[in-house]
Amino acid sequence: MPPVDLTDTKAEAERVAAEWGIELGTPFTLSRYSYVVPVGDDAVLKVPWEGDDESLHEGEALELWNGNGAVRLLRRSGRVLLLERALPGADISEVPEEEATAIAVEVATRLWRRAGEPFRWIGDHVPRWLDNDPGELTPLARKLYASLEPSRDWLVHGDFHHHNILCHGERFAAIDPKPYLGDREYDVPSFLWNPLSYRMTDRGRTERRIEAFVRAGLDDSRIRAWTAIRGAYLGADGDEADLIRSLVT
């Protein structure tokens, strides 16, 4: 998805900043789908692009987590969020493989918890996503999804990967959730095909990552099924699609 026009979100950020009496710094250069700008040294103001439906309940999720596994929400006005800034803020994409996986499992187990409204059930959205973005894995994904019966009870991050897990003092914290209710296993595929510099073509590495989450209590077969389902509507193809097929056969 190409970067979007953030003119309106910038204006909303400036309006709320004036209302709250805070001073905005220079926007982060990698903010392509939200207007994200530092506030002093310890906070960040975030305004999502109006078309970003998946992060609709980001504020509610951060309130529920209350700093346990994610950055802390300091203040909000609708979807405008004032967030604790993760410092030093480096993500885990450059951390050695085994250590990065262990960090991800530890952070994820803090985020996964029982929840209900206002969070939306993933089952009301996945079929549409499969219809909207059919790919070479779609027939397999539909077959697997038909047998899953996703949970309605677990809050998941929704975009869980190396670049959304940041060093924060002596711990690590997640950012940028796209929260839904569903299986905990739904969160694992996005970790499997990241960081951005990596293509998921290494069967051994993929199996070791899956095993780490299984040891934390997740279901092996559901991780594999969700990898095919999410891979279908997120556009996995070529060698990555071949590896995904091998995971479920």
Tell which residue, 33, 32, 22, has the closest CA to residue 83: 22
Q: Which CATH superfamily is domain 89-247 in?
A: Aminoglycoside phosphotransferase (APH), C-terminal lobe (3.90.1200.10)
The pLDDT confidence band at residue 1, using thresholds 50, 70 and 90, is low
**pLDDT digits 0-9 by tens, 68-77:** 999 999 999 9
- For 132: left if phi > 0, alpha if psi spans -120 to 50, otherwise beta; the answer is alpha
- Which tens digit of pLDDT belongs to each residue from 122-170? 999 999 999 998 889 999 999 999 999 999 999 999 999 999 999 999 9
3-class SS of residue 75: strand
**Residue 48: is the preceding peptide bond cis (ω within 30°)?**
no
Given a contact cutoff of 8 angstroms between Cβ atoms, the answer to whether 201 and 240 are in contact is yes
Q: Where are the domains of the chain?
A: 7-85, 89-247
Topology, domain 7-85: Phosphorylase Kinase; domain 1 (3.30.200)
